[in-house]
Amino acid sequence: MARPIQAQVDLQALKNNLNVVRRAAPESRVWSVIKANAYGHGLHRVWSALSDSDGLAMLNIEEAILVRENGWQGPILMLEGFFCADDLPLFSKYRLTTVVHNNLQIKALQNAYLPIPLDVYVKINSGMNRLGFHPDNIYNIWKKLRSLKNVGEMTLMSHFANADKANGITSSMARIDQASKGLDCPRSFSNSAAILWHPEAHYDWVRPGIILYGASPTGKWQDIANTGLKPVMTLRSEIIAVQTLKEGDSVGYGSRYRATKKQRIGIVAAGYADGYPRHANTGTPIWVDGVRTRTLGTVSMDMLAVDLDSVPHAVIGSPVELWGKEIKIDEVAFAVGTIGYELMCALAPRVPVITV
């Protein structure tokens, strides 16, 4: 019999979340972001559930080729563009839209021999200081790209660092507006947080990422609880042992938890080798056989302990949800000092995944 841990990916929830995005930004087209193996959900298993998207956005050429060769005919946006000039023939062959964010990419486009022009997203650095051209240079860079025979349609793009805050895009939009004076062009600025909370920045294309998968851009589930978004990934396992502690008994490596009274605990087949965070301290929420309870002690490679005092009916074989519909991934992430994005992407290859 297989080890009982399993991840479930709900494709209907994914479709629902795309519809939530469309309702939030009804005048915009949607790039569904499926980078990082679709945020850990498995690109090969989820991309077709996003077939109502206007385009798919990702990072790796291998991802783009996979969805093209499996039948996706719509636009594909490469969010970091191409990494060397040798990539350009593949970009042309597979009809990829490239982000352009540095001068080396401009030079490569200028010198390449391509059968058809590439559509281009020109990235402006509006304050995040990762990728993009300085706002003062955007007008000249735009004109330069517009003159190249290898450049087709052009769109102005940026990415917000603080769209999860009430006034978080004000300074960025001021930079963008100043830089883009005189440019009559399509625009794509809004990430998940801006889609939900800054409709003034929706423009022509929005780029939902984390909200497609049913988690919050702020890391707090309560911030999206009333949006209609649904968790897509559920991580489940079972109780594989039950122990009864007496006062003073410890649990796990380092004896980080000690019982203060007689106490029942359960051992769950899930650990950091499955992608559950080792730094989850005692008290991280977990769901056991219909009851919300807590983890105890140090998470091991393959197992973790849970408090069964509030779950007297739990036995070997009782179901456990580590995150999903009952315990939101944002709750676990908040408890361990990270974000839902990281937990999704950290799901280990050894965990079986089923789709529903």
Could you tell me the mean pLDDT of each successive run of 10 residues in the chain, 356 residues long? 94 98 98 97 95 97 96 97 96 97 98 96 96 96 97 97 95 95 95 98 98 96 96 98 97 96 98 97 97 98 98 98 98 96 96 96
Respond yes or no: is residue 253 known to be catalytic.
yes
Both tokens of 4, joined, read 């009982």
Contacts of 135 (CB under 8 A, 6+ apart): 124, 125, 126, 175, 176, 178, 179
54 and 144 assigned to the same domain: yes
How many helices and strands, by DSSP H and E, does the chain display? 11, 18
Marked catalytic residue, from 107, 143, 149, 253: 253
**What's 76's domain CATH number?**
3.20.20.10
205 and 316 assigned to the same domain: no
CB neighbour class for 316 (10 Å; exposed up to 12, middle 13-18, buried from 19): exposed
Sign of CA dihedral 266, 234, 33, 226: negative
> Does residue 224 belong to any structural domain of this protein?
no
- Beta strand segments in the chain, E: 6-9, 29-33, 55-58, 76-78, 97-100, 118-123, 151-157, 187-190, 205-206, 233-245, 250-251, 257-258, 263-268, 285-288, 291-296, 304-307, 319-323, 353-355
Domain end call among 213, 247, 279? 213
CA gap 133, 154 in Å, rounded: 15
199 and 288 assigned to the same domain: no
Number of residues written out for the chain: 356
192 and 261 assigned to the same domain: no
> Does residue 306 belong to any structural domain of this protein?
yes
Domain end call among 185, 213, 241? 213
> Does residue 3 belong to any structural domain of this protein?
no
> Does residue 5 belong to any structural domain of this protein?
no
Which candidate, 337, 272, 262, places its Cα nearest to that of 307?
Answer: 262
259 and 346 assigned to the same domain: yes
Total domain count, the chain: 2
49 and 174 assigned to the same domain: yes
104 and 191 assigned to the same domain: yes
Domain end call among 213, 243, 268? 213
273 and 197 assigned to the same domain: no
pLDDT at residue 347 in the model? 97
Domain span holding position 242: 233-355
CA gap 147, 125 in Å, rounded: 22
Marked catalytic residue, from 35, 39, 272, 276: 35
pLDDT at residue 1 in the model? 66
pLDDT at residue 248 in the model? 97
CA gap 189, 154 in Å, rounded: 14
Contacts of 300 (CB under 8 A, 6+ apart): 252, 253, 271, 272
Respond yes or no: is residue 35 known to be catalytic.
yes
192 and 293 assigned to the same domain: no
200 and 279 assigned to the same domain: no
pTM score > 0.85 for this model?
Answer: yes
159 and 239 assigned to the same domain: no
pLDDT at residue 37 in the model? 96
> Does residue 193 belong to any structural domain of this protein?
yes
